[in-house]
């Protein structure tokens, strides 16, 4: 009787060759369904481009913005996508530093999502300004007239935070890809793919020295990216917290936004991972265990967010500040009560259902909850931005906001844009981290137990070991 | 040498093509020909405006004006400070007069037309020849009487010419100008007590600019006391909202109240008839007597068939005060009815019309339009496509008054000149010139044949008053008139009015001056007594009133159950200024509804009838019906509905035609038999909600439909302050106490102070002391100690909410008009706005209660130019920055449009250019060349008229002197009829603004934000303790609305 050793995370993956096979299987010619989805995404992007051009040519009046509500769906969507972009770095960098072995299978997906989400988000500050053709004035470009941007403005901090985050997460994403692209290069038979992968692999040959440098570089980059997880969304939150608008001017905004970002990011990972696992038949890699862990992360962040909601209301009451109290009262009883309540329900209450193992382990239910959280997190940003502006200090200018057509189209287009990149990624770059998944698989032995198995096929015992870095290193 | 291009050639080509590219690259729009002056005019210095003196003719008040022209184009109209009527101020209509001048839909030249078939553009020569030919035909047919000249109530030279003209050609003159006869020149600035019987003297009645100033003098706080103003009428227009007490007698019984107050009728009977408690009548009568009050009236809105009785009763109230407030009106109503009958009978062959649009203004049921179509030749002198001109067969467009020579006599002793300030915009010709030319062609010249032009005719008439050398001075001053009266010199007496409006020519009137014995009759010292009043009753000169038990008979049919009030509009007068986009965009001062008509319904009535704000209701009288939006308003009697005049034009240009409803459609051709003038009051109407869905319940746009935000009523702003204490008030008694004790604690800090006991924050105190500038926490190098700190004091006790400042701001700062749909999205760009709060609390019900209009607060809100401005640090590109002289600068060129500054502005006074707005030619001629026209995507806001600040600075530098107080006058400060604003350098302790800022009434709006604004508001002063914040519903004055009147 032979004993076969498997990773507890990937019990269905027998050995390294499985990983190579499964990861490279995706890098093939796409089917009709894929192309249809991609077409939809591109059309959405096209519509958004038309809508944006309408905004530019005719003026921002095309959007539904009003005088007190100067920021609406555009900034809401910006914050939403920046938030989505958080889970990737959290999973890839922070969990890497903490040596959480369940990260290996999903981090590539999450990281790609991060990069694409930030690319999406970065469009919105340009889209939303009144004269987008002058957006470069926000950058500290040397100017003959020595005109610098205003370093006191949170919007400028935002520019720095988002560009930094985009740079670091892209580099991190790319560095991590190098060995896997090299593996794809070696396995692909399509000539143009081979050419592209050859360029992208930067001549990776998998020598020990390369591996040594690579792991160091990756570690440093992970350490560099980790503070960004906290800083980016803190800075984005300061767009609001530094102002004096009641409902924005709150000290808890930075941690509150970070927690919210992780909540929405994890939810988006789940939203993407569930169909990917089903369509691309990656059950062996994205296992129930992964989803279980992510559900727990979701519960944690949802609870933090719920605490922040409660704390906001407590502070509004405790401060005895008329304007603050009015704004928060207005959020749940005023014209936007539906948005306020859907935010609380979707983000703080519904995710709590994941405490029940039955729901947590039911992927369909989890998928549904993740979508609800995604919607809820968009509403959260909406509720923070719009009702606060619609109901601030000056009563004469209490006026509501209704989303305009171009805003709605551009919002849809941002999803098209994001998923367009996501779809391209799925077919052109290895979704599974070939190298890192191998780290938690039992290493191939000279005398492979499978050889023994072949002798007595009837008798088979699979022993699952909680393999991971520690086990790996101990070996 | 090579065959290639030589170096020199290369450089030449490079230079030429480079210059060409640079030139082409620099042009931003269409290439236009720029023709410099071949021989420059000595008077015109490019960039330096020239001012002309003239007279505003937008209403009969006749305010003296200065017209600013830049390179031969009028850009702005301002009051003439030397003038006794305008005192340097002007109302919104006057400010908007340049839009009449440059309206793109004006008639561009003479036209003969077959209405509805074809228009033929002709020359003036042809037009005059055709007109003379037609007159000759009629004369030869022996029907000289078939020629009728329908005119305004001309005064001065035009009156003389018109009479001479009709005499010369054997025609007949009919005068139609219903409100011309309202009394002007009344003096009540020093009165302590004022009662107005429906006379909206702050809006249209008599001489609004002059009366607004006088009202502010008598009604604002001075030396520990303040005059009281009582409003009598079935609803509260703007003037009524400024009253301390509102009496709403049963419609048609106003004269009984006046008689009771005058002691001609016992108060018990009056109370029974008028539904006003006897105690209230007695109290008012007693107060009126004790204070030696002044009564004004009757207003046009409450002039019914018995208006003359009310007029007589008001005369009795004013007896012994040197004149009668209510002069007899011209019997134009009877004459018009006769004219319509004659037109219908085919007795009129030719009608020359130079009157204010009778086809619109007359009650529709009179059938003027139909009658007019029976006149074979209809000549309109209107320069604008109004309803009357639409029916004309010949259009001879008149000059705008800014293009013409003329004179005007609004009141005795005030002889005003009107001079052209620029060449005519279109091919128009003055009526006077046409008359002279036509008369000459007919061989019956006017003016003894000596005057070839109207100007000559005018000079001849003025020879006695300002002949020879004096003429130049008269033109420079804008006429011959006395200096303005100053308050406190006994200006409360009435000037004599007889003759002022009787159409006396300049020559006849001569250099009439005011009688000093009458102008010095001070109410405070005259001490009216009951005996005097009793004696007045027996004067035979004033006809006794009828039996007091006979209120005006209701005209309505059996089903009619509501009284109708049709009242004049502050913005559109009787409809004549309804084509000015600025005035359409200006929200009504009371209802805050722009671009629309509405019917005012009491909340209780509305509730009983199931009508909500914004519902479409049909108002039907026996004469006709209109369908408009319901406006639920507690300032109207429950048994009454009110509709404003002015909109509902069938013609009137691109903005006006088809907008709103014309309430004249509801009126009948009823006359006040005693005077023969039209009586629009006393009609009864039914109202019914129509089937169309209600769209926008005004206040918060809750039900706005997603794709159809355009339809429906839009009420700007809110009715209550939500406890924000933005517009504050204080009672006279508390104020007197505070003045004894010195400045109280920081207003609005009371809850904070109680918090401090528990360890809370204390806001940085915002002192109004000039020594406190620059305020702490604002020294980031933006201030220079040597630079001035521009600041403004806004006295809410003087503000009547008229919004003249708003229109002045539009005119000065090139603010575009955005239209109704955009206004509903809050996208108006009104840098200065007047907020109108019915109630200080957050309690909508209190604001809608019967006492809801008793403490209405008006608040001009503009950029506060904060010392610690929230907008500045958040701008990523320094478009919002702080100037060394304390202004919040806004660099349009640098702005990228993040709108963060607007979000962070607690006052919401920053406005974003959502589009690039259109100024259709020639409306763009009005644009002030000193102010940038902004493009889409740029934030803008009040600049304290920085162009004027710079101009003042440059002038002082040119004259080598330091800037002094008064060098800089922003447009709003300049025009305010009640002189609400004080502007200047607050770091100078001697400036007017720093002295005014130290009032104990001073506070700053939203002090909790620590923005350190440069604007200090002075609290409104109420007679009784105001309801301050909170949810207290205590009213400042008694309610006049009967609890269950209908």
CB neighbours of B294 closer than 8 A, spacing ≥ 6?
A: B186, B188, B191, B193, B194, B195, B318, B321, B325, B492, B494, B523
Residue keyed to tokens 């068939």: B305
Q: What are the residues facing B148 on neighbouring strands?
A: B172, B351
Is the Cβ pair B878, A392 closer than 8 Å?
A: no
A401-420 pLDDT, tens digit each: 888 889 999 999 999 999 99
Q: Shortest CA distance to A430 belongs to which of A109, A88, A38? A: A109
* Residue B123 C-alpha, separation from nearest chain A C-alpha, in angstroms: 42
Please tell me the predicted confidence (pLDDT) of residue A465: 55
Pick from B636, B664, B689: which residue ends a domain? B689
Please tell me the predicted confidence (pLDDT) of residue B12: 67
Flag whether residue A329 sits within 8 Å of chain B, measured between CB atoms: no
Least CB–CB distance from A393: residue in B700, B827, B1006: B1006
pLDDT confidence band for A450 (50 / 70 / 90): low
A58-115 pLDDT, tens digit each: 999 888 898 899 999 999 999 999 999 887 888 888 888 877 778 888 888 889 999 9
Same-domain check for residues B885 and B979: yes
- Asked, for residue B348, whether it belongs to a domain, the answer is no
Instruction: Choose from B189-198, B288-297, B900-909 the range with maximum mean pLDDT.
Output: B900-909
ipTM of the complex: 0.90
Same-domain check for residues B619 and B741: no
A273-319 pLDDT, tens digit each: 999 988 888 888 888 888 988 899 899 999 999 999 999 999 888 88
What mean pLDDT value characterizes chain B?
Answer: 80
Whether pLDDT at B935 is above 60: yes
CA–CA gap between residue A246 and residue A237 (Å, rounded): 14
Q: What are the residues facing B1021 on neighbouring strands?
A: B730
pLDDT confidence band for B841 (50 / 70 / 90): confident
Domain residue ranges of chain A, discontinuous segments joined by +: 2-474
- Asked, for residue B1006, whether it belongs to a domain, the answer is yes
8-state DSSP, B808: H
pLDDT confidence band for B446 (50 / 70 / 90): confident
Please tell me the predicted confidence (pLDDT) of residue B642: 93
Flag whether residue B895 sits within 8 Å of chain A, measured between CB atoms: yes
CB neighbours of B926 closer than 8 A, spacing ≥ 6?
A: B73, B74, B75, B76, B98, B99, B101, B102, B811, B919
Higher pLDDT, B524 or A122: A122
Instruction: Choose from B463-472, B528-537, B639-648, B783-792 the range with maximum mean pLDDT.
Output: B639-648
Rounded to the nearest 10 degrees, the angle between the axes of helix A363-390 and helix A253-279 is 150
Q: What is the mean pLDDT of residues B512-528?
A: 31
Is the Cβ pair A244, B1009 closer than 8 Å?
A: yes
Is the Cβ pair B876, A244 closer than 8 Å?
A: no
Q: Which residues of B touch A155 (CB under 8 A)?
A: 874, 876, 898, 900
Q: What is the DSSP string of B821-857?
A: HHHHTT----SSEEEEESBSSS-HHHHHSTTTTTT-E
CA–CA gap between residue B903 and residue A239 (Å, rounded): 11
Respond yes or no on whether the N-terminal peptide bond of residue B922 is cis (omega within 30° of 0). yes
Pick from B689, B713, B738: which residue ends a domain? B689
Please tell me the predicted confidence (pLDDT) of residue A402: 87
Same-domain check for residues B684 and B754: no
Please tell me the predicted confidence (pLDDT) of residue B508: 28
Residue keyed to tokens 């505003």: B56
Flag whether residue B821 sits within 8 Å of chain A, measured between CB atoms: no
Same-domain check for residues B672 and B802: no
CB B713 within 8 A of CB B597: no
Pairing state of beta strands B1015-1018 and B1002-1003?
A: antiparallel
Q: What is the mean pLDDT of residues B26-38?
A: 58
pLDDT confidence band for B330 (50 / 70 / 90): low
Pick from B641, B665, B689: which residue ends a domain? B689
Q: What range does the domain containing B671 cover?
A: 562-689
Q: Which residues of B touch A138 (CB under 8 A)?
A: 876-877, 896
Q: What are the residues facing B414 on neighbouring strands?
A: B411
* Residue A9 C-alpha, separation from nearest chain B C-alpha, in angstroms: 48
- Asked, for residue B518, whether it belongs to a domain, the answer is no
We report the CATH number of the domain holding residue B636 as: 2.40.40.20
Q: Shortest CA distance to B966 belongs to which of B517, B163, B979, A410? A: B979
Respond yes or no on whether the N-terminal peptide bond of residue B774 is cis (omega within 30° of 0). yes
CA angle, corner B708, sides to B703 and B711, nearest 5? 80
Please tell me the predicted confidence (pLDDT) of residue B1034: 34
Same-domain check for residues B682 and B733: no
Whether pLDDT at B940 is above 90: yes
pLDDT confidence band for B65 (50 / 70 / 90): very high
We report the CATH number of the domain holding residue B746 as: 3.30.70.20
Same-domain check for residues B599 and B740: no
A177-226 pLDDT, tens digit each: 999 999 888 888 889 999 999 999 999 998 999 999 998 998 898 888 88
Is the Cβ pair B900, A67 closer than 8 Å?
A: no
* Residue A307 C-alpha, separation from nearest chain B C-alpha, in angstroms: 24
Q: What are the residues facing A6 on neighbouring strands?
A: A464
Residue B146's SS3 state is: helix
CATH architecture of A2-474: Up-down Bundle (1.20)
What mean pLDDT value characterizes chain A?
Answer: 86
Whether pLDDT at B742 is above 60: yes
Please tell me the predicted confidence (pLDDT) of residue B704: 39
CB B206 within 8 A of CB B241: no
pLDDT confidence band for A146 (50 / 70 / 90): confident
Region of residue B442 (left: phi > 0; alpha: psi -120 to 50; beta: else): alpha
- Asked, for residue B226, whether it belongs to a domain, the answer is no
Q: Where are the alpha helices (DSSP H) in B684-838?
A: 732-741, 750-756, 804-813, 820-824
- Asked, for residue B974, whether it belongs to a domain, the answer is yes
The values of phi and psi at residue A463, to 5°, are -105, 120
CA–CA gap between residue B548 and residue B552 (Å, rounded): 10
CA–CA gap between residue B218 and residue B193 (Å, rounded): 8
- Asked, for residue B782, whether it belongs to a domain, the answer is yes
Range with the poorest average pLDDT among A191-195, B64-68, B880-884: B880-884
Same-domain check for residues B685 and B736: no
Higher pLDDT, B8 or B303: B303
Q: Which residues of B touch A72 (CB under 8 A)?
A: none
Please tell me the predicted confidence (pLDDT) of residue A40: 96
For residue A270, what are the CA distances in angstroms to A263, B48, B436, B782? 11, 69, 90, 52
Is the Cβ pair B874, A135 closer than 8 Å?
A: no
Please tell me the predicted confidence (pLDDT) of residue A121: 93
Same-domain check for residues B986 and B906: yes
A340-384 pLDDT, tens digit each: 999 999 999 999 999 999 998 899 999 999 999 999 999 999 999
Q: What is the mean pLDDT of residues B606-623?
A: 88
Please tell me the predicted confidence (pLDDT) of residue A464: 59
Pairing state of beta strands B729-731 and B1020-1022?
A: parallel
* Residue B642 C-alpha, separation from nearest chain A C-alpha, in angstroms: 25
Please tell me the predicted confidence (pLDDT) of residue B36: 66
Higher pLDDT, B713 or B829: B829
Q: Where are the alpha helices (DSSP H) in B599-731?
A: 603-608
pLDDT confidence band for B324 (50 / 70 / 90): low
Is the Cβ pair B908, A394 closer than 8 Å?
A: yes
For residue B161, what are the CA distances in angstroms to A270, B54, B144, B173, B434? 90, 21, 18, 11, 11
Query: What is the C-alpha radius of gyration for chain B, rounded to an integer number of angstroms?
Result: 30
Q: What is the mean pLDDT of residues B260-283?
A: 89
pLDDT cut 70: percent of chain A above it: 92
Please tell me the predicted confidence (pLDDT) of residue B886: 81
Residue keyed to tokens 């219908």: B344
pLDDT cut 70: percent of chain B above it: 80
Please tell me the predicted confidence (pLDDT) of residue B975: 93
CA–CA gap between residue A65 and residue A406 (Å, rounded): 11
Same-domain check for residues B806 and B952: yes
Give the count of domains, chain B: 2
Q: For testing the chain B interface, which of A147, A153, A407 should be mutated: the one with the most B CBs within 10 Å?
A: A153
A224-270 pLDDT, tens digit each: 888 888 888 899 999 999 999 998 998 899 999 999 998 999 999 99
Same-domain check for residues B636 and B746: no
Whether pLDDT at B39 is above 90: no
Least CB–CB distance from B903: residue in A61, A323, A389: A389
For residue B354, what are the CA distances in angstroms to A19, B119, B434? 96, 20, 12
pLDDT confidence band for B527 (50 / 70 / 90): very low
- Asked, for residue B107, whether it belongs to a domain, the answer is no
Is the Cβ pair A130, B911 closer than 8 Å?
A: no
- Asked, for residue B363, whether it belongs to a domain, the answer is no
Whether pLDDT at B679 is above 60: yes
């Amino acid at each position: 009787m032979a004993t076969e050793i498997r990773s507890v995370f990937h019990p269905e993956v027998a050995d390294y060759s499985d990983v190579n096979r499964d990861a490279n299987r995706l890098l093939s010619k796409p089917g009709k369904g894929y192309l249809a989805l991609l077409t939809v995404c591109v059309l959405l992007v096209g519509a958004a481009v038309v809508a944006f051009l309408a905004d530019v040519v005719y003026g921002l009046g095309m959007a539904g913005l009003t005088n007190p509500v100067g920021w609406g769906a555009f900034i809401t969507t910006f914050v939403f996508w920046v938030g989505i972009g958080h889970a990737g770095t959290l999973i890839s960098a922070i969990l890497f530093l903490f040596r959480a072995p369940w990260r290996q299978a999903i981090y590539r997906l999450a990281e790609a999502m991060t990069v694409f989400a930030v690319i999406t988000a970065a469009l919105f500050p340009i889209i939303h300004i009144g004269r987008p053709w002058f957006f470069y004035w926000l950058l500290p470009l040397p100017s003959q007239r020595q005109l610098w941007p205003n370093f006191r403005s949170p919007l400028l901090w935002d520019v720095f935070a988002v560009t930094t985050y985009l740079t670091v997460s892209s580099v991190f994403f790319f560095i991590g890809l190098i060995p896997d692209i090299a593996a794809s290069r070696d396995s692909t038979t399509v000539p143009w793919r081979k050419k592209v992968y050859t360029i992208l692999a930067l001549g990776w040959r998998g020598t020990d020295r390369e591996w040594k440098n690579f792991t160091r570089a990756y570690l440093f980059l992970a350490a560099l990216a980790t503070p960004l997880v906290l800083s980016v969304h803190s800075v984005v939150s300061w767009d609001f917290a530094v102002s004096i608008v009641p409902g924005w001017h709150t000290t808890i905004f930075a941690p509150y936004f970070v927690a919210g970002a992780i909540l929405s990011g994890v939810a988006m990972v789940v939203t993407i991972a569930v169909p990917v696992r089903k369509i691309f038949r990656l059950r062996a890699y994205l296992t129930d265990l992964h989803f279980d862990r992510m559900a727990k992360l979701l519960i944690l962040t949802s609870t933090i967010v719920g605490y922040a909601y409660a704390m906001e209301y407590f502070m509004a009451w405790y401060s005895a500040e008329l304007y603050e109290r009015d704004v928060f009262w207005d959020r749940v009883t005023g014209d936007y009560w539906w948005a306020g309540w859907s935010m609380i329900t979707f983000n703080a209450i519904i995710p709590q259902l994941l405490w029940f193992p039955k729901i947590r382990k039911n992927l369909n239910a989890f998928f549904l909850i993740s979508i609800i959280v995604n919607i809820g997190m968009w509403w959260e940003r909406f509720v923070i931005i719009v009702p606060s502006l619609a109901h601030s200090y000056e009563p004469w200018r209490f006026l509501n906001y209704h989303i305009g057509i171009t805003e709605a189209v551009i919002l849809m287009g941002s999803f098209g844009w994001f998923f367009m990149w996501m779809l391209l990624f799925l077919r052109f770059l290895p979704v599974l981290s070939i190298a890192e998944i191998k780290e938690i698989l039992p290493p191939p032995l000279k005398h492979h137990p499978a050889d023994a198995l072949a002798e007595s096929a009837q008798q088979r015992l699979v022993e699952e070991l909680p393999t991971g870095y520690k086990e790996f290193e101990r070996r | 040498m090579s065959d290639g291009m030589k170096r020199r050639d290369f450089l030449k080509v490079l230079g030429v093509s480079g210059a060409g590219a640079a030139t082409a690259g620099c042009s931003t729009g269409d290439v236009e020909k720029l023709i410099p002056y071949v021989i420059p005019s000595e008077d015109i210095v490019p960039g330096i405006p020239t001012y002309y003196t003239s007279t505003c003719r937008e209403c009969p008040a006749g305010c003296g004006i200065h017209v600013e022209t830049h390179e031969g184009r009028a850009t702005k109209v301002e009051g003439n400070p030397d003038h006794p009527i305008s005192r340097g101020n002007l109302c919104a209509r006057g400010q908007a007069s340049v839009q009449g001048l440059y309206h793109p839909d004006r008639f561009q030249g003479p036209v003969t037309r077959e209405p509805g078939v074809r228009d033929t553009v002709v020359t003036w020569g042809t037009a005059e020849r055709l007109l003379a030919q037609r007159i000759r035909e009629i004369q030869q047919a022996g029907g000289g009487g078939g020629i009728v000249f329908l005119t305004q109530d001309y005064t001065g030279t035009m009156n003389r010419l018109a009479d001479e003209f009709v005499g010369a050609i054997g025609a007949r003159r009919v005068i139609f100008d219903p409100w011309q006869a309202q009394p002007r020149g009344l003096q009540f600035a020093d009165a302590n007590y004022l009662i107005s019987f429906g006379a909206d003297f702050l809006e249209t009645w008599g001489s609004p600019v002059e009366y607004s100033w006088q009202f502010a003098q008598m009604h604002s706080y001075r030396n520990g006391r303040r005059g009281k103003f009582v409003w009598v009428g079935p609803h509260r227009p703007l003037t009524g909202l400024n009253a301390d007490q509102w009496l709403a007698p049963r419609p048609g019984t106003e004269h009984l109240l006046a008689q009771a107050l005058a002691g001609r009728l016992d108060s018990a009977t009056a109370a029974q008839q008028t539904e006003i408690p006897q105690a209230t009548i007695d109290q008012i009568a007693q107060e009126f007597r004790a204070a030696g009050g002044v009564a004004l009236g009757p207003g046009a809105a409450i002039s019914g068939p018995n208006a003359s009785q009310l007029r007589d009763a008001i005369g009795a109230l004013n007896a012994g005060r040197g004149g009668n407030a209510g002069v007899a009106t011209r019997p134009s109503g009877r004459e018009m009815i006769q004219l319509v009958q004659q037109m219908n009978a085919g007795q009129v062959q030719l009608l020359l019309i130079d009157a204010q649009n009778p086809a619109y203004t007359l009650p529709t049921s009179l059938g003027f339009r139909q009658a007019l179509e029976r006149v074979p030749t209809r000549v309109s002198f209107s320069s604008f496509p109004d309803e009357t001109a639409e029916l004309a067969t010949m259009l001879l467009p008149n000059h705008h008054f800014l293009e013409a020579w003329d004179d005007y006599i609004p009141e005795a002793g005030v002889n005003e000149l009107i001079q052209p300030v620029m060449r005519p915009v279109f091919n128009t010709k003055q009526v006077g010139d046409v008359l002279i030319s036509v008369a000459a062609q007919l061989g019956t010249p006017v003016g003894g044949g000596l005057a070839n032009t109207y100007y000559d005719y005018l000079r001849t008439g003025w020879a006695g008053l300002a002949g020879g050398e004096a003429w130049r001075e008269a033109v420079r001053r804008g006429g011959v008139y006395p200096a303005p009266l100053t308050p406190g010199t006994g200006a409360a007496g009435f000037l004599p009015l007889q003759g002022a409006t009787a159409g006396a020519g300049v020559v006849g009137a001569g250099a009439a001056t005011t009688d000093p014995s009458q102008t010095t009759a001070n109410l405070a010292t005259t001490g009216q007594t009951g005996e005097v009043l009793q004696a007045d009753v027996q004067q035979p000169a004033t006809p006794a009133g009828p039996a007091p038990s006979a209120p005006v008979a209701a005209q309505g049919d059996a089903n009619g159950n509501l009284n109708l009030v049709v009242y004049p509009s502050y913005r559109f007068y009787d409809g004549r200024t309804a084509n000015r986009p600025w005035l359409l965009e200006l929200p009504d001062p009371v209802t805050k509804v722009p671009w629309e008509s509405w019917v005012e319904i009491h909340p209780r009535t509305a509730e009983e009838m199931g009508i909500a704000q914004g519902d479409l209701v049909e108002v039907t009288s026996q004469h006709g019906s209109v369908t408009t939006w319901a406006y639920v308003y507690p300032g109207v009697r429950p048994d009454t509905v009110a509709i404003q005049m002015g909109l509902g034009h069938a013609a009137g240009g691109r903005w006006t035609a088809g907008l709103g409803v014309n309430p004249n459609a509801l009126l009948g051709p009823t006359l006040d038999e005693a005077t023969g003038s039209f009586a629009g009051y006393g009609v009864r109407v039914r109202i019914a909600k129509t089937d169309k869905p209600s769209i926008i319940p005004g206040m918060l746009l809750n039900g706005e439909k997603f794709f159809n935000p355009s339809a429906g009523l839009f009420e700007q702003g809110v009715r209550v302050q939500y406890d924000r204490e933005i517009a504050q008030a204080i009672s006279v008694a508390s104020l007197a106490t505070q003045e004894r004790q010195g400045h109280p604690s920081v207003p609005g800090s009371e809850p904070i102070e109680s918090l401090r006991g528990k360890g809370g924050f204390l806001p940085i105190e915002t002192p109004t002391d000039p020594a406190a500038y620059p305020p702490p926490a604002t020294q980031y190098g933006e201030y220079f100690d040597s630079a001035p700190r521009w600041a403004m004091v806004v006295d809410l006790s003087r503000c009547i909410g008229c919004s003249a400042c708003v229109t002045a701001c539009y005119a000065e700062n090139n603010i575009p008009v955005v239209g109704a749909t955009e206004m509903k999205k809050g996208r108006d760009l009104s840098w200065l706005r007047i907020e109108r709060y019915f109630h200080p609390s957050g309690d909508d019900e209190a604001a809608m209660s019967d006492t809801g209009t008793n403490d209405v607060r008006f608040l001009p809100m503009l950029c506060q130019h904060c010392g610690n401005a929230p907008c500045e640090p958040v701008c990523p590109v320094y478009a919002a920055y702080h100037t060394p002289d304390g202004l919040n600068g806004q660099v349009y060129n640098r702005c990228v449009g993040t709108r963060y500054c607007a979000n962070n502005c607690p006052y919401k006074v920053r406005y974003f250019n959502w589009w690039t707005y259109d100024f259709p030619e020639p409306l763009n001629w009005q644009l002030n060349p000193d102010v940038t026209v902004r493009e889409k995507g740029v934030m803008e806001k009040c600049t304290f008229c920085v162009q004027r600040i710079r101009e003042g600075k440059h002038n002082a530098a040119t004259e080598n002197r330091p800037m002094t107080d008064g060098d800089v006058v922003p447009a709003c400060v300049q025009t305010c009829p009640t002189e609400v604003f004080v502007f200047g350098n607050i770091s100078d302790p001697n400036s007017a603004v720093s002295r005014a800022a130290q009032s104990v009434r001073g506070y700053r709006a939203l002090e909790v934000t620590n923005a350190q604004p440069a604007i200090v508001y002075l609290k409104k002063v109420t007679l009784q303790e105001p309801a301050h914040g909170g949810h207290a519903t205590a009213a400042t004055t008694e309610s006049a609305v009967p609890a269950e009147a209908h």
